[in-house]
Amino acid sequence: MRILVTGGAGYIGSAVVQELVEAGNEVTVLDNLSQGHRAAVPEPATFVQGDLRDRSFVEQVLADRRPEAIMHFASHTLVGESMEDPFLYLDDNVRCGVNLMRAAVNNDVDRFILSSTANLFGTPDRIPIDEEAPVEPGSPYGESKFMLERVLHWLDEIHGLRYASLRYFNAAGAAAPHRGEDHDPETHLIPIVLQVALGQREKIVIFGDEYDTPDGTCVRDFIHVLDLAQAHILALRALEDGSRVYNLGNGKGFSVREVIDAARRVTGRDIPAEVGDPRPGDPAVLIASNEKIRNELGWTPEYDSLEAIIESAWQWHRRHPNGYESSE
């Protein structure tokens, strides 16, 4: 297939592009490189630099490349930032997505994969979280993704644009050895812990240890980025049978302390940790139910242990201690 991947120079997008090109698809990556890295884009994908806010540019890219399907990863993704600057999310994220969807309809693209989020569920009333859980976004970031889901719903109803909304929990790990996690600033737990192991940070700060969990620290569901990539490919094939929504997680929960202890075992390094103040709004436990995608698409996470996820990330960070900087 001819597939357009927005945000394909980013962490998750580039891992998906890698899997797509290895499967023989003709992939075009559209990215403005505000968060992504040119060195992350796998060969032989075609790279186009540009901004989704420019509607005429987006229309021209689709007219030139003639994709049969679109995967949309490009987005502002920081929950905390969205609470400080909601318009960056409720304006930019939504406008960019709608520009892309309008161009899809105008250029007869009938398949669309949306990178969505578990932040749709805020503080859930039951664990694990399935697709029937009430949608109550926990931030403007989550709200922006839900708004795009609703736009897709109506474009399917009116124009037949079949879509899959994939609601990620905590993406982690690396598509080693070439693609890994390199954010500025880095906000994700596993790469921060590994930066401590590399001596790039003095310590890891645990945000609270009095939650209602076995060890008092927050419990989260970590899913390997390559397992996410495979879910995208399966969902794309399944659009032949209509639109769908899936929660994507490992289905297991690991506490912050468990992540730090596992990183110590994997790296063999002393990783100093101290307890700080809890962050406002952090739920004690977030774990996905992945039964629906397992049952409907036969998807099964290959990297289902915390050590395997951290080991892949550790391999990449050791080879790229400064991220993609040396490659670029």
Nearest to 3 by CA among 67, 74, 46, 97: 67
Co-location of 113 and 195 in the same domain = no
- CATH code where residue 49 lies: 3.40.50.720
Give me the pLDDT at residue 327, please. 54
Q: Which amino acid is at 37?
A: H
**Structural domain span for residue 30:** 2-172+222-248
141 belongs to the catalytic site = yes
Alpha carbon of 69 to those of 75, 105, 112, 170, 283: distances in Å?
Answer: 18, 11, 6, 25, 36
Q: Is residue 314 part of a domain?
A: yes
Give me the pLDDT at residue 328, please. 46
Tens place of pLDDT per residue across the chain (328 aa): 999 999 999 999 999 999 999 999 999 999 999 999 999 999 999 999 999 999 999 999 999 999 999 999 999 999 889 999 999 999 999 999 999 999 999 999 999 999 999 999 988 889 999 999 999 999 999 999 999 999 999 999 999 999 999 999 999 999 977 899 999 889 999 999 999 999 999 999 999 999 999 999 999 999 999 999 999 999 999 999 999 999 999 999 999 999 999 999 999 999 999 999 998 878 899 999 999 999 999 999 999 899 999 999 999 999 999 999 855 4
Co-location of 197 and 82 in the same domain = no
- CATH code where residue 213 lies: 3.90.25.10
Co-location of 10 and 72 in the same domain = yes
Give me the pLDDT at residue 276, please. 97
Give me the pLDDT at residue 122, please. 85
The DSSP secondary-structure symbol of 288 reads B
Give me the pLDDT at residue 282, please. 85
Give me the pLDDT at residue 115, please. 98
Options 11, 89, 141, 163, the catalytic residue: 141
Q: Which residue has the tokens 């075992």?
A: 265
Q: How many domains does the chain have?
A: 2
CA distance 78 to 217: 21
CA distance 298 to 48: 34
Co-location of 232 and 303 in the same domain = no
Q: Is residue 9 part of a domain?
A: yes
User: Which three-class secondary structure string do you get for 257-279?
Assistant: HHHHHHHHHHHCCCCCEEEECCC
Alpha carbon of 246 to those of 54, 75, 116, 217, 288: distances in Å?
Answer: 30, 19, 10, 27, 10
Co-location of 83 and 93 in the same domain = yes
Co-location of 149 and 80 in the same domain = yes
Q: Is residue 181 part of a domain?
A: no
